[in-house]
Structures are given as C-alpha cells and as structure tokens.
Chain A
Amino acid sequence: MLKPTPAEDLRTHTRSARDRTRSRGLIVLGMAFLLTAFLSLSVGPSGITLLSLPQVIAEVTGYSAGTGGHEALVLLDIRLPRTLLAMYVGAALAVSGAIMQGMFRNPLADPGLIGVSSGAALFAVAMIAFGDAYLPAIKAALGVHALPVAAFVGGLGATALLVGLTNGRRVISTGTLLLAGVALAALASALMGVVAYLSDDRALRDLTLWTLGSLAGASWSKVIGTLPFALVLALLLPRLIRDLNGLLLGEAEAYHLGVNVQRAKMLIVFVTAGAVGAAVAVAGIVGFIGIVTPHIIRLVAGPDHRFLLPASALLGGTLAVAADMVARVAVAPAELPLGIITALIGAPFFLHLVLRRGAHG
C-alpha cells in the first residue's frame, strides 16, 4: 500500500509478522468504526431505528407518500449528519494529536498546542458575547453559521500568528513553537476571561455550554463545510507518515534521510490547524480524544506512523461517535455536553491502561 521509506530501512525488520498483525488490527478498528456508526444511526431518544430505513428511502425518492412521522427527519437530517460529524471530529482530533506528538516528540502534545483550539475558542466566545451588539451584519449574513465561522477563523488566525512569530529565517524551531504555543494559549485563555467578565448572564451560559463541546447543532451544511478538510487530511496523510517517521529519529537524521524538514513542519502545522479548526468550529471544545487516542494505539502497537495515523483516525472516530451516542441517550429527552463524556469515560480507562502497563514494566 505504501512505498517503503529510508526510515524503514533503519528498522531491524522490514515487512514482518508484526506488520501483518497491524493490518489485521486496522481491519478490526475499521469494523468497530463502521459498527459504531451504524449503531449511532440506530440509537436515539425517539426510538426510531434503521429498521425504518426502507420506508424512509421510499418516502424520500417519492415512491411512497410520507407517513407524517419523523423517521426521515430524524434519520437523515439529525442522526446522519451528527454521526458523520462525530466521525470527522474524532478522527481529526486523534490524527492531529498523533501528528503533534510526533512532530514535537512530546507525549503530552495535543492538537491544540499550535494555538488552534485557543484561538477558535476565543473567537467563538467573543462572537457569542458581542456578536449581536457589535457584528450584527456578520451575524445576520451567516445566521447559525456565525459561530462556526468565527471559531474557524480564530483557530487558523492564531496558528498563522504563532508561525509568523516563531518563524525566524524561515526555520520553524519546534522548541520555540512549543513554548510560544503555550504562551499564546495562556494569552487566549486570559482574553476569554475578559470576554466572560464583560458578557451578560445569557452569553455566559451560552459560552460555558459551547466550551463543553456538543454536536447537538449538527446539520448537512456543517458536514459539507468540513468535507474539504477531511479530504485534505486523507490525501496528505501518506506524505505526513514518511516525514513523521523520519522526524521520530530527530530533525538532523530526518534531513539526512531526505525529508525536507522545514517544509514538512510547515505542512504539518497548517494541515493540523485546518483539521482541528474545522473540528472545533462544528463541535466546540472536545477534550481528551486528541491527546489520548494516539497513546492508546502506541501502547498497543508502537510508534510507527504507518499504523499510528490510520489507527488513531479510526479509534478517534469510534470514540467520538460512541460518546455522542451517550450524550444523546443518557438524560433523554435532554442532552449532555459531548466534552464531558469524552473525559468522563476516557480518562479512567486511559489511567487504567497506563497503570497496567507500568506494572508490566
């Protein structure tokens, strides 16, 4: 599937039993991913399941008259876009987390490290708090999309600012980027504090809810909006794998292996910023998936990005879809914020995994 790279020649074994195990692992993860997605289409507070699908298809294609029920609306306009967005959000966050951890060679790196989450969150809360008062034209023009657009612009803007600030002589130093990213996140969070302080009770509640993350506002227009980012991520993934495996050995070594280190880093930063920016735009802040999914895969299968990236994408998507299912049915007919669930379920599980591994050395 993938051309062997110079980096792989340095490994003690080439295509081996381990690779076969990994391929099987990917198939298992892929099946789990699809199974969760189908389950997600079939689970919800209204009790409508995929058993209504034939009737819905007949209705939509005009072969039979509508029954006046909500089956078509719930399956096609509520759950399907929601499931697709959950897949995207989970996969984008997990892959971006894996890429960030690889580029910074730091297990604590998360997708938000290059400022994208903080910038997106800052713009989003500013839009919630001041949009009506100061940007009525923008709000009127974009309607329900004012918030996602603001989040996306903020996320990409923050990353561009960070790269611009740390990009001395067209060389991105990952060390500087890491520290500047932390500083920028602190600044953004302080500014969010200012926004919260200045906002009224209504906006305060809305922005609190937004920062907890949710896919309740899923719609086809958001699916279409995120599609380009999903495609770009999928197309560039093979390229990134080679560069990241090179970077695993260190920047100088990667350079000698023929990786254009600076260009690779630029590509990594902006691909991640776009992918995460779109994810935050449609779902708000969903913690945990981005930082932890790659670790789970690494604990099981090691650091080779050929397996790590696709596996992270599948597992991240599965986790997000599963968490969103819980969000929908746990307190039905009400709704729980998604970000709460990802952390509530994920954190103890991850802790267990880490401690068990510790016991085995």
Chain B
Amino acid sequence: MFVRPRPTACALARAAFLLLASVSVSAPSHSAEMSARDTSRIVSVGGDVTEILYELGLGDNVVAIDTTSVFPPQIPSEKKSVGYMRALSSEGVLAVRPTLILATDKAGPPEVVAALKASSTPFITIDGPDTPEGVAEKVKQVAAIVGKEEAGETLAQRIRTEFEAAADARKTIAKPIKALFLLSVQSGRALAGGRNTAADAMLALAGAENVVNSFDGYKPLSGEAALALAPDAIIVMKAAPGHRTAEASGPIATEIAAITGLANTPAVKDGRIIEFDGSLMLQFGPRAPQAAHDLMHILYPDLVPTRRIN
C-alpha cells in the first residue's frame, strides 16, 4: 500500500488540493545546481563534516549545525542548531536559507533527507570509513565541493602525516594494553563498543587491544562477561572536551563500581578508568590523529610523550 506513487500521482494530488480543475500540472523538477557552488550559507550535519569545514577556513559560512558538531567549542552557542543528526526537520533545515547542505551519511530520517535532496539546495553526503585514509577521503570530498581543493590536499596530507607519527609511536609498544570502551555506564548497565565501531578503530590506532571481539556494534555487557574479558584499562565516553583519569570516588567510578564483575577487573583495581572526549574519539574528523595520540599517551605514559599536534 505504501508503494512509491508515480510522480504524476503526486502532481495530481497536489493539483486537487490546489483546486485547479482543468489545468494541466507537471511536478516541478527541483534539481541541484551542479555548476559553480554557492558556499555562502552552509548547513553542516555531523561533527566530522563541521570540523573539516572549519579547518578549510569556511567556519564563517556555516549558518547551522547539528547537535553532534561540538568543535570548535564555541560553535554550539554561536550557530543555529538543526537538532540531532538522525532527527532532522526538512523545513527546519531549509528555514536557515542554506545555499549548500553538507551531511554525514548518518543523517536522517530517510524521508527528510529525501525531501531535502528534492529541494533546489544542493544536499551532499560525506562519508568515509573509520580509518586514517577514510578521514583524508572525507576531507577531500568536502574540499572538492566547496572549491578548496588545494587547502583540502594540504589538510589531508597533514592528517596522513600525523597518523604516520602515531603509527611510529605505536611501534614502540611491546605489549598492547587490553582495553574496554564503554559508550555509557548507567544504573548497572554498561554499553560496550564491539567490533566494527569507531571506538574499536580508535583503540587500534592508539595501540590498544579491544577486549570485546565477540560482537559488533555497541551492546550491553554483563559484569560477568567483563570479568572474563579482564581489561587492563576502561575508557568511558565523556560528553565534554578533555580527558582525565576518572576520580576514584567520582560519578563514573561509582557507576562502574556498582556493576559487580566489572568492578573486579584489573582496570578498576589499578585505577585505570579513563574519561575520554567522546566526539574526539568517535567522529573520525580532522582531530582523529590527535585523539589517537592522546589516548596512546594516557595508556602508555612512559612510552609515548604527550604532544599537542594541532
């Protein structure tokens, strides 16, 4: 019953509501202009996309962002918000009068994305895998769209170089630390990052071994399973910038202590619960090499010196 109706059916329905009897109606074709792009008013959806735009010097052209765009830190208070990237509103996005919409492939819901693609404003999806080359790829896609190929190439090259530096640092690690990433830990329930997640990719880039290799995605982890996995370090997502070792009596440590089994892992005994900036760790934007370095430094303080790379 919900078959995609033919365009004529749509047009007829519209015509009927417009009370235009005896007038032939053809649905107007809203096709995106593929010629010289107007980048004066960009809506950026996805933290990685927004950061790339800022790196390319187009921050002032961004008129609205989504709630996952949190860097540079002042932007959530400066720019209009179109809401969570998976719950966009078609008219809301068009209301900021964008000349260009750049969105991560995670943007949704699908019907809203379809409606935006049907508008006269170009809607372009940026995607790349959670790998060093994937980040460079995303940078090049954005750069090509906004006509900043040269700056894009420079930035992509810088990111590659920084990742190579991280790879060199990784080589000095003799024995990888067994780490567990928790997306959230609340009221006795821990959501752990398994295979095929950004967390898994970042742990590998930081020279750690993800102890969760039995499932894909983020899933609840029981205390008993955590005990059996015996992580040496637990990394917990933090919704604010900066990283630190969780205070022994702080809220995170208290939540973890409440899960019997998880509380008895080597990581908790050694006090290696690390709170890490979630957007930095999981978005795989231009700061991904920085994230790998920071995480490596926290896990291997003696081997990897701290280094602010940007």
Contacts and interface: CB of A to CB of B under 8 A. Distances in A.
A46 B95 contact: yes
B36 interface: no
| Chain A interface mostly | helix
Given A73-B119, A333-B96, A224 B5 contact: yes
B11 to A, nearest CB: 9
B76 interface: no
B5 to A, nearest CB: 5
Interface stretch (A22-30, A144-152, A163-171, A248-256): A144-152
A40 B25 CA distance: 24
A84 to B, nearest CB: 8
Contacts of B90: 78, 216
Given A206-B86, A219-B111, A333-B81, A80 B17 contact: yes
Interface stretch (A54-62, A113-121, A292-300, A310-318): A54-62
Interface stretch (A1-9, A91-99, A195-203, A301-309): A195-203
Residue among A74, A197, A224 with max Cβ neighbours from chain B (10 Å):
A224
Interface residues of B, number: 58
A223 B93 CA distance: 22
Contacts of B269: none
Interface stretch (A64-72, A102-110, A178-186, A230-238): A64-72
Contact of B1 (A79, A149, A199): A149
B13 A45 contact: no
A271 B148 CA distance: 58
Contact of B120 (A45, A73, A79): A73
Given A46-B95, A62-B26, A333-B64, A197 B14 contact: no
A64 to B, nearest CB: 12
B5 A216 contact: no
Contact of B25 (A61, A198, A201, A220): A61
Contacts, number: 163
A328 B3 contact: no
B23 interface: yes
B91 interface: yes
Contact of B23 (A61, A66, A77, A143): A61
B108 interface: yes
Nearest to A59: B28
Nearest to A67: B120
B110 interface: yes
B94 A206 contact: no
Which of A80, A201, A204 has most B Cβ within 10 Å?
A201
B127 to A, nearest CB: 14
B218 A201 contact: yes
B140 to A, nearest CB: 25
A228 B1 contact: yes
A348 interface: no
Given A201-B218, A221-B2, A78 B115 contact: yes
Interface in B31-83: 64, 67, 80-83
A72 B87 contact: no
A333 B268 CA distance: 43
A93 B270 CA distance: 57
A261 B10 CA distance: 41
B220 A144 contact: no
A171 to B, nearest CB: 31
Interface size class of A (residues with CB under 8 A): 35 or more
B118 A73 contact: yes
B91 A46 contact: yes
Contacts of A142: 2
A218 B111 contact: yes
Contacts of A73: 30, 94, 115, 118-120
B91 A45 contact: yes
A214 B108 CA distance: 13
Contacts of B183: 201
B277 to A, nearest CB: 17
A70 B94 contact: yes
A77 B116 CA distance: 11
A60 B2 contact: no
B150 interface: no
A332 interface: yes
A68 B120 contact: yes
B119 A60 contact: no
Nearest to A144: B110
A44 B4 contact: no
A361 interface: no
B108 A334 contact: no
A52 to B, nearest CB: 13
Interface in B78-113: 80-84, 86-97, 106, 108-112
Given A149-B2, A333-B81, A334-B81, A45 B115 contact: no
22 contacts: A45-B95, A46-B94, A46-B97, A60-B15, A60-B18, A61-B20, A76-B14, A77-B118, A80-B14, A144-B110, A145-B2, A197-B220, A200-B217, A205-B84, A214-B87, A217-B111, A220-B10, A221-B3, A223-B13, A333-B83, A334-B88, A334-B92
Give the top 4 A-B pairs by smallest Cβ distance, nearest first: A334-B83, A200-B217, A217-B111, A335-B89
Interface of B: 1-5, 9-10, 13-15, 17-18, 20, 23-26, 28, 30, 64, 67, 80-84, 86-97, 106, 108-112, 114-115, 118-121, 183, 191, 197, 216-220
